[in-house]
Amino acid sequence: MADTSFRDWPFLEDRHRDFAARLDDWAAATLPQDQHPHSHDAVDAACRDLVARLGAGGWLACAVPEPGQPPGAAIDVRMLCLARETLARHSGLADFAFAMQGLGTGSISLYGDAAMRARILPRVRAGESIAAFALSEPDAGSDVAAMTTTATKVAEGWRLDGVKTWISNGGIAGHYVVFARTGEAPGARGLSAFVVEAGTPGLTIAERIAVIAPHPLATLRFENCVIPAGNLLGKPGEGFKVAMSTLDIFRPTVGAAALGFARRAMDEAVARAKSRAMFGKTLADLDLTQAKLADMALAIDTSALLVYRAAWTRDVRGGRITREAAMAKLHATESAQSVIDAAVQMFGGLGVASGQKVEELYREVRALRIYEGASEVQKLIIGRQVLA
């Protein structure tokens, strides 16, 4: 059983502790075990099923506020982090399904008008519709301000043209939050955010992308894709702010997911160390193993402190948490990779055998150091904040 002593830390309140314990029980009882879909169709079906289960269980409510609540007010980042950490410990795909319902509606919760919130949020919250966030482009990933997808004002609303790639839930989402250049100013100040519903003429799935830890992922093409004027989120030219303030909320949760993977790897490593006979004792009796487990435990606790510090700061103090979010994501994802690598090592040859949990974790954690701002971007953000 994973260490849950962090739940007593002062960053959390009793409702968070109760939530984490209940979700843990639900995940153990409800999530499909040993689910390893590979084909695009099987991955899509597994993801739809997980979103429906999470919705029916009421768990998406903490990621997707009710439309009537004031913009942004209802996103409890500590709850989001606990949800991701808990789900990731059980299933990488369940964590993914949960997280994307939040990331794909975060900008709508924060900047959508009442009509847009009422149209999109309830179905995503219930797990009846899938959400996606379309920011990256073939030549604009870390450098968001370099994006070339355009949105042009036309009589019916806005016309979108361009390509978005690495879009999670691409192909199965009911709507996409899309960022495009509207040209009010050069660079970051000339972008805007829009909601594009699936099935809008001019939006096509150009390509499905297969990755080492299978998730629904695609390249989207917008060609003369016309959307109503009311699908703009915030004001024209505010798109960069919409994207960054959404990522401020979700970046600590990426750290939380990494933490969940690391905790699971720790559990697997401890069980292995205690049971594996070696040199007339167990692996756990060797000093080298104990030193490695100490490094892993330290990495896990420092990650948890940074993740829940960022979440607490946002929930309790409010305002921007750019620095705290970047530190939490950077440290938790980088150190989870080391923790999982150490766990794989303790399993020896078995550690890289298909079907082993640590092998799966090794593949699952890798993308977290890249998506929602690569580690290098987080360092850039922290460095700038220190200098400011």
Q: Which positions touch ligand COS (CB under 6 A)?
A: 135-136, 141-145, 188-189, 240-241, 244-245, 247-248, 320, 322, 371-373, 377, 380-381
Kindly state the smallest distance separating residue 247's Cβ from ligand COS, in Å.
Answer: 5
Helix (H, G, I), strand (E, B) or coil at 200: coil
- State the CB neighbour count (10 A cutoff) for residue 180: 28
Residue type, 357: K
Nearer to ligand COS, 10 or 186 (CB): 186
Distance CA 319, CA 326 (A): 15
- So which residues are the catalytic ones? 372
Give the alpha-carbon dihedral of 56, 312, 304, 337, to 10 degrees.
70
DSSP letter assigned to residue 283: G
Kindly state the smallest distance separating residue 325's Cβ from ligand COS, in Å.
Answer: 8
DSSP H/E element including 197? strand 191-197
Kindly state the smallest distance separating residue 163's Cβ from ligand COS, in Å.
Answer: 14
Nearer to ligand COS, 151 or 381 (CB): 381
Kindly state the smallest distance separating residue 384's Cβ from ligand COS, in Å.
Answer: 7
Place of tokens 């939380």: 256
Distance CA 13, CA 164 (A): 40
Helix (H, G, I), strand (E, B) or coil at 13: coil
Closest CA to 71 of 102, 130, 117, 29: 117
Nearer to ligand COS, 191 or 344 (CB): 191
Residue type, 303: S
**Under 8 Å between Cβ of 283 and 175:** no
Contacts of 369 (CB under 8 A, 6+ apart): 333, 334, 337, 375
Closest CA to 94 of 58, 52, 132: 52
Nearer to ligand COS, 205 or 297 (CB): 205
DSSP-H helix ranges across the chain: 14-30, 40-56, 77-90, 92-111, 114-125, 239-275, 287-312, 322-346, 357-366, 375-387
